[in-house]
């Protein structure tokens, strides 16, 4: 009977949701102990507790990103699974929402209202616009689906996969600048790996049209932040929406706070909702007690 520990700031919610499932053979631990087999929680908390858990065999992260557990000085003698398949809808809402904020000139309309000005200038539409997705995993595929629903053209840049039926054209490897050519929207959903570091650099930003909007809902490390600040200061692109940053929380004196045409959302684009994550855990728990391979396993070397 596996012993199970929750390490989360929302432990209470998770406990209630999991108890309601009446899972077979689940033995609850209330604190780290030498016989704990399974841990569910935030990677940042779990990182601090790996040592007192010698029997640990499986960690289910409630986040998609598991960077804190990838530190090469840490143990890797357990199966690490992340949260997947639950963020696509939330991320799609976020990205579509901010693209519409841009197209429909919502902030300009608000400014007009404050100035007592009847601003009936026409606004734009997503229909017919081109969206480029940097990274097309399960989140990117759902985003592509949503963009197609709104009549957009969708390009995908991936290492090699071409699995989403909603991507109109795929690009790989050295075709990054070709991928960027004439995009209306560039959205990064890239994880933090050695291959993605600063992939959004001056060359890529310069390859975009000046009316393009860049949105980052992946990881901040994929952006060359100085190059982005420069591009925004020179109006090389129309704007950026950043949910993630190289360093979080963003330092108080970071130039992003005052860069023009930049909106920041402080890593809230796809919250880990306990109702969603519990479903992922339950699914994997059932596989675990049957001795079957778990879903959403993280490759420690690859980083996702």
Contacts of 23 (CB under 8 A, 6+ apart): 282, 285, 286
Interface with a copy of itself, residue 17, by CB under 8 A = no
The tokens describing 137, both together, are 């995993």
Binding mask 201-240 for a copy of itself (x = CB under 8 A): ----------------------------------------
Binding mask 116-155 for a copy of itself (x = CB under 8 A): x-xxxxxx-xxx------------------x--xxx----
Interface with a copy of itself, residue 263, by CB under 8 A = yes
The tokens describing 33, both together, are 């102990």
**DSSP code of residue 6:** E
Minimum CB–partner distance for residue 123 and a copy of itself (Å): 5
Minimum CB–partner distance for residue 88 and a copy of itself (Å): 11
Binding mask 150-169 for a copy of itself (x = CB under 8 A): xx------------------
By the 8 A CB rule, do 133 and 189 touch? yes
Minimum CB–partner distance for residue 99 and a copy of itself (Å): 8
> What's the rounded Cα separation, in Å, for the pair 28 and 125?
52
Interface with a copy of itself, residue 100, by CB under 8 A = yes
Minimum CB–partner distance for residue 222 and a copy of itself (Å): 20
> What's the rounded Cα separation, in Å, for the pair 296 and 80?
8
* Residue closest to 178 by CA, chosen among 144, 161, 212, 203: 203
> What's the rounded Cα separation, in Å, for the pair 272 and 60?
13
Contacts of 124 (CB under 8 A, 6+ apart): 102, 103, 104, 105
Binding site for a copy of itself (CB under 8 A): 89-90, 93-94, 96-98, 100-101, 103-104, 106-107, 109-110, 112-113, 116, 118-123, 125-127, 146, 149-151, 249-250, 252, 257, 263-268, 271
């Amino acid at each position: 009977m596996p012993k199970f520990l929750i390490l989360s700031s929302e432990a209470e919610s998770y406990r209630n949701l999991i108890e309601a499932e009446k899972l077979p053979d689940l033995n609850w631990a209330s604190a780290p102990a030498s016989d704990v087999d399974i841990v569910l929680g935030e990677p940042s908390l779990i990182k601090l507790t790996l040592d007192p858990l010698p029997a640990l065999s499986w960690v289910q992260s409630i986040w998609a990103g598991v960077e804190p557990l990838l530190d090469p000085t840490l143990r890797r003698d357990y199966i690490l699974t992340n949260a997947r398949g639950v963020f696509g809808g939330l991320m799609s809402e976020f990205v579509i929402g901010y693209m519409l904020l841009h197209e429909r000139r919502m902030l300009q309309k608000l400014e007009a209202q404050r100035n007592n000005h009847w601003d009936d200038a026409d606004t734009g539409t997503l229909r017919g616009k081109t969206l480029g997705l940097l990274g097309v995993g399960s989140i990117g595929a759902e985003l592509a689906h949503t963009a197609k629903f709104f009549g957009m053209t969708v390009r995908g840049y991936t290492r090699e996969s071409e699995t989403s039926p909603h991507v109109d054209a795929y690009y790989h490897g050295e075709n990054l600048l070709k991928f960027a050519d004439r995009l209306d929207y560039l959205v990064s959903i890239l994880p933090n790996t050695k291959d993605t570091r600063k992939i959004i650099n001056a060359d890529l930003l310069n390859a975009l049209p000046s009316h393009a909007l860049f949105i980052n809902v992946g990881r901040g490390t994929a952006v060359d932040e100085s190059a982005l600040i420069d591009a925004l200061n020179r109006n090389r692109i129309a704007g950026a929406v950043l949910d993630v940053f190289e360093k979080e929380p963003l330092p108080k004196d970071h130039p992003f706070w005052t860069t023009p045409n930049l909106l920041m959302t402080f890593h809230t684009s796809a919250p880990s909702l306990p109702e969603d994550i519990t479903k992922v855990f339950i699914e994997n728990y059932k596989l675990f007690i049957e001795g079957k391979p778990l879903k959403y396993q993280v490759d420690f070397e690859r980083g996702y």
